Amino acid sequence: NSDLAYALRSALEDVPGTPSRYSAIGFDACLMMSISTTSVYHTLSDYFIASEATEPGHGWAYDRLCDTSSPLSFLKDVHTTFLESKHGSSDHRTPKTLAAIDSLRYNSFEKRLALLVTVLRTALLRNDDPDLHSLLQRSRASAVSFESILDEPGAERPAAVDVGSFLTEFERQCDPHEGTALRSILDETMEAYDIMYEVRGVGRGTK
């Protein structure tokens, strides 16, 4: 990712007349909507669109894209046609996930997520809440997960966890008290997570 991001950045800097940012960067490829990839590409474009899970081999429905009135309209068209089309198959192939974020809003989410991690780490080291460790484990186990390059095919407990799903599970299971630092930063992180998405969804048959 770093090499590709360098090439994209160099094109902006070295080619006369280019804008300061791309309108959008998208990957018709597997496992590219993650914190590790978004942190690399969000500074280069206004929008970023990719799949969190493995993509069906047919990829995006390029033959059905038609709305080019604006970058965001085009991305929404990509999103809709990919999730709703069967791409020549008799049924929907799975898993099929796709999301587009506003790259300018990613920084706010990343900062709040880092603060949440700091608050949780401090609480774990303080060791004055006997339930916190088990609640974190349960939240991780209950969250939606996807196979990653770290996993063997068919892994029972995939390594890639959906951050939004984890936050929702942790909020449900832990339910921090109002007025606490954990409650405050958890609410802010969840709000920043939701706000950065322009569109997100799954195709039929994908949980």
Neighbours of 147 (CB within 10 A): 18
Give a yes or no: residue 88 inside a domain.
yes
DSSP one-letter code for 69? S
The verdict on 83 and 132 lying in the same domain is no
The verdict on 98 and 165 lying in the same domain is no
Q: So what's the pLDDT on residue 86?
A: 85
For 95, half-sphere exposure in the C-beta direction (CA atoms, 13 angstrom radius) is 17
Q: So what's the pLDDT on residue 155?
A: 84
**Domain around 120:** 107-195
The verdict on 8 and 101 lying in the same domain is yes
Q: So what's the pLDDT on residue 66?
A: 85
Three-state SS sequence of 121-187: HHHHHHCCCCCHHHHHHHHHHHCCEECCCCCCCCCCCCCEECHHHHHHHHHHHHCCCCCCHHHHHHH
Stretches where the chain sits below pLDDT 70 are: none
Q: So what's the pLDDT on residue 198?
A: 98
Q: So what's the pLDDT on residue 63?
A: 87
The verdict on 145 and 119 lying in the same domain is yes
The verdict on 113 and 100 lying in the same domain is no
The structure's pTM equals 0.89
